[in-house]
Structure 1
Amino acid sequence: MAPSGTRGVLERLNAGEVVIGDGGFVFALEKRGYVKAGPWTPEAAAEHPEAVRQLHREFLRAGANVMQTFTFYASDDKLENRGNSLSFTGAQINEAACNLAREVANEGDALVAGGVSQTPSYLSCKSETEVKAIFQKQLDVFIKNKVDFLIAEYFEHVEEAEWAVQVLKSTGKPVAANLCIGPEGDMHGVSPGDCAVRLVKAGADIVGVNCHFDPMTCVEAVKKMKEGVEKAGLRAHYMVQPLAFHTPDCNCQGFIDLPEFPFGLEPRILTRWDMQKYAREAYNAGIRYIGGCCGFEPYHIRAVAEELAPERGGLLPAASEKHGPWGGGLEMHTKPWVRARARKDYWASLKPASGRPLCPSLSSPDSWGVTKGHVELMQQKEATTKDQLKPLFEKAKTH
């Protein structure tokens, strides 16, 4: 249970407060050797709980108000894609993730959010009933463990996100819904504004975007969501949890189409000062739930908390004890030219060099345009190719 006296997410947002989310567990734990790139499944919650617990703790210390359960892609249909390489069920992983999130949340004034994400079943054109049953199975664990609210995140298709929201809303708990889309809309071309309206009508209390794009692109997408909701005469709170990578060259499917994905993205990482600009831009756009996704490390969340400290009653996170505002700690450096960098105008205007003289500043993304039904499409293409090659194989056998 949440500590007595801890206010819920809607209570905080209704009061106009800023809620700071945590960062990107999948990428952070992959770099630390606990998650396998490709399947991206979160068995580390059960296999290596100490690693997940420590990352939760670092985000809490950096200023996060929400400990989101490490349950990304923890649905049974996704875990089945791992074959026999996993010895844990989805329920076991989700249970362990809830316990870890609650343990660390209780160390501060933090909430626990249970999260579900898009499913292979939807992409394979399974029925609404089948897809909803997958969400319900995860939801049962969240309810048993009394999470504070629920998040449906990383959905490329608004239809599947609507189904997820409908299942989550049946609990009566607050529900947030995030699409992994940019200003162009979802993978079927539904605009951000229309997506947001559909999610609110499905029951979402908080709507926004996460992953796939850089902070400023995500903020722009949420602005469009906000415009759509207000135009429809509806009300909602707004959230954003973007990548920690610069992605100005991405197409509608985001960073997964970049040739650097997922192992060569480091040159694109935002600095802590970039994060302060992001936090201010999001706040000015009327977004009050501000966090991060893939690439976000604790120091990025600390930057968000530091930038918004004035709006949060001057509250600074524990991690700021080791970090002077705008490089203030550099005043004690032994080199005078480094001491001179202990000021806001220096870091706010810095344009960092990459140190890679032969590298382009932008890439040419792949453009597969994968949408719902892509499994059947690929199977059809394979069948067609085999039919085309069959005469050649038969001819080869006669020689």
Structure 2
Amino acid sequence: MTKPDLRSALAQGRLVGDGAMGTYLYQMGFPVGISYEELNLLQPDVIRGVHRRYVEAGARLIETNTFSANREKLSKYGLEGEVEAINRAGVKLAREAAGDEAYVVGAIGSIRAGKRKNVRTSRVVEALQEQIAVLLESGVDGVLLETFYDLEELMLALKLVRRAGGLPVICQFATDGTGATQDGVPLHEAFARLQEAGADVVGFNCRSGPNGILRAMEKLAVPDGLFTSVFPNAGMPDYVDGKYSFTAGPDYFGASARRFADLGVRLIGGCCGTTPEHIAAVAAALRGYEPGGAGQQLAPQPAEAAAVTVRPLAAAPAAGTARPQEPSLLDLVKQRHTVIVELDPPRDLSIDKFMAGAAALKEAKADALTLADNSMAVTRMSNLALGYLVREQVGLRPLIHIACRDRNLIGTQSHMMGLHALGIDHVLAVTGDPAKFGDLPGSSSVYDLTSFEIIRMIKQLNDGIAFSGKPLKQRAQFVVGAAFNPNVKHLDKAIQRLERKIEAGADYIMTQPVYDPALIERIAESTSHLDVPVFIGIMPLASGRNAEYLHNEVPGIQLSDEVRARMAGLEGTEGRRVGVDIAKELLDTAMRHFRGIYLITPFLAYEMSVELALYVREKASRDFHLSPLAK
């Protein structure tokens, strides 16, 4: 029996899309830095095989391997003359793999990729027209315009497809859940304008895992009569020892598919990091699906910050004047339980709530406030500037994260020299999440240094030697921390990696959040031979959905089954109350084994961290004042 056309299939029910091509080829051993689209010509059996695995997993819509097969993108590899051959081969291979079981859509990606002025509009038009013509002539069932950041470019591409023919068109934005396109158009308005211009389906792919895209869908008023689609990533990518990996497993992906279906989404597939196993889970979850309602409501947002008085900015010390020395965290942790609290810098220009949180944590007797360096590759206010304000206005020690991602060797040394001049001497060296998965995916990840090398280079400044090897007139006094992820299958191997960081010069360790008392005890046993203090990470959970997001989508975080069961279905005030209770139970175990406590604040909800910091202080004075302490 002949299957209906793609529009009719979407009108009749839900379709399962395929998963990633590029990251799947990467997992198969094909390196970064080549044209995966050229493999249509060089390795046709491989590409056909990937398509076929997705069909066998249950995908009923297959994308051609042509995402970057336009003249502009292919010119990077000297392949601008192969546009027609690569696109024709892409359609042929997908069609051979799909047979009569699945629809084939011609995949076309953004040329500007979020860099709005990097390619003239005339060149964008020429490149898109050329690719669109070849795909339509090659016999696709529809066109998929995916991973667009700006409405302007997506509208341009849609109009070019519409001029060339009447096939169904799927338009997909890359979103981080903020409610607007990168050129500032509210998503509901962008969807409406695309529908008016002839889009059959509008949705999201890439950039976010299921949780981020779900947030965007829940906030969105979809125009009547418009079908929607979602192709999330498999969570946030992790970048360790030069290799990328993704965290969200097939079971979580399948459960997320049902939640998307509850919101009325018609086409559900996967993007970066997904595999045939993820798509098989989506297909199984949607088999026999019946609508379950309008989807869950968003958890309530934290209450607005109460007014907190901060000190006026103090005058900077005169040149040559030594700043008064206060005990370092290394000194404090030898004497008593010491509390570091993380508070993320704002994504906005307003710092009122952040500073209110810093003041409240100072009042709760936190020993240091640690500030991430554009965590998850999302643009935030400079942690150097905020750290200075926290110290001068609030009187709380700042501990600044330094990511390898954002600065080359020149910028990193310059940054460290600035910290030295400001008297900020406690830092944490981290690799940093890859830029392409943040809110400005057109930006570059630098990675001139590994986390081991950046530790070594910072300590070199303490010896009065610049990164270039030249002597400096002064010596820095940086106390350098290293990050440690204990939420791994082989803890012994993670400990070996940690030992290498200590050999490179790390003075203390800060762990990813831990949610299992038994694991805290294993960490204590496994690190007992180390001669540097360990600050054990504890992050209170805000809701059941927050728990599932962290467990499935964020690299380096893993929740125990017991914690996930306790948080399941909890939202709002009740979710936060139980989240704090769980954190206190974890602190009961952690404080028996570690003097260093690292509290991580979710969603700038500093009230939760204030309660936990006070709990540590009270418990320490009550239970540990006469007791011997672990390291």
1:135 equivalent to 2:128? Answer: yes
Query: 1:31, CA displacement in angstroms?
Result: 2.0
Equivalent of residue 8 in structure 1, options 2, 5, 12: 5
Structure with larger Rg: 2
* Match runs of 1:121-132 below 5 Å: 123-132=116-125
SS of 1:310's equivalent in the other structure is: coil
**Aligned pair partner of 1:285 in 248, 263, 285:** 263
Q: Report percent identity of matched pairs.
A: 28
TM-score by length of 2: 0.45
Secondary structure of the residue aligned to 1:260 is strand
CA contact (8 A) 2:35 2:77 kept: no
**AA at the equivalent of 2:18:** D
Structure that is richer in helix per residue = 1
Aligned to 2:217: 222
Q: How far, CA to CA, are the matches of 2:240 and 2:73 in structure 1? A: 20
Query: Tell me, what secondary structure is at the counterpart of 1:33?
Result: coil
Q: Which amino acid is the alignment partner of residue 201 of structure 1?
A: E
Counterpart in 1 of 2:109?
117
Q: Secondary structure at the match of 1:7?
A: coil
Q: What does 1:1-399 correspond to in 2, within 5 Å?
A: 5-15=2-12, 17-34=13-30, 36-38=31-33, 41-83=36-78, 86=79, 89-106=82-99, 108-120=100-112, 123-170=116-163, 171-184=165-178, 185-225=180-220, 227=221, 229-230=222-223, 234-245=224-235, 247=236, 260=239, 264-266=243-245, 268-311=246-289, 363-365=375-377, 367=379, 370=440
Paired with 1:39 and 1:154, the residues of 2 have a C-alpha distance of 20
Unmatched runs of 5 consecutive residues or more in structure 2 = 291-371, 380-405, 407-438, 445-631
Q: CA deviation at 1:87?
A: 8.9
- Matched residue SS, 2:239: coil
Deviates more, 1:271-280 or 1:300-309: 271-280
Contact 1:192 1:224 in 2 (8 A): no
Shift in Å, 1:299: 0.6
State how far apart, in whole Å, the 1-side matches of 2:152 and 2:441 are: 12
Q: Distance in 2 between matches of 1:68 and 1:18?
A: 17
Please tell me whether the aligned partners of residues 222 and 240 of structure 1 are also in contact (alpha carbons under 8 angstroms).
no
Contact 1:275 1:304 in 2 (8 A): yes
Q: How big is each residue's C-alpha offset from its partner over 1:237-285, in whole Å with a ceiling of 9 and x where there is no partner?
A: 000001012x4xxxxxxx6xxx73995442x421221012111111001
Question: What amino acid is aligned across from residue 9 of structure 1 in structure 2?
Answer: L
Q: In the alignment, is the contact (CA less than 8 A) between 1:237 and 1:288 conserved in 2?
A: yes
Residues 44/366 of structure 1: CA separation in 2 closer, same or farther (3 Å cut): same
Q: Counterparts of 2:253 and 2:158 in 1: how far apart (Å)?
A: 29
- Aligned partner letter, 1:151: L
Q: 1:129 to 1:263 in 2, by over 3 A?
A: same
Please give the TM-score of this superposition, normalised by the length of structure 1. 0.69
CA distance in 1, matches of 2:377, 2:19: 25
**Where do 4+ consecutive residues of structure 1 move more than 4 Å?**
38-41, 261-265, 368-372
| Equivalent pair of 1:193/1:224 in contact (CA under 8 Å) | no
**What whole-Å deviation, never above 9, does each CA across 1:283-310 have from its counterpart, x for those lacking one?**
0011010000111100100001111111
Deviation at 1:199, TM superposition (A): 1.6
Give the CA deviation at 1:51. Answer: 0.7
* AA of the residue aligned to 2:181: D
Deviation of 1:182 after TM superposition, in Å, equals 2.5
Give deviations 1:137-179, integer Å, cap 9, x for gaps: 0111112111001110011111101111111122111100001
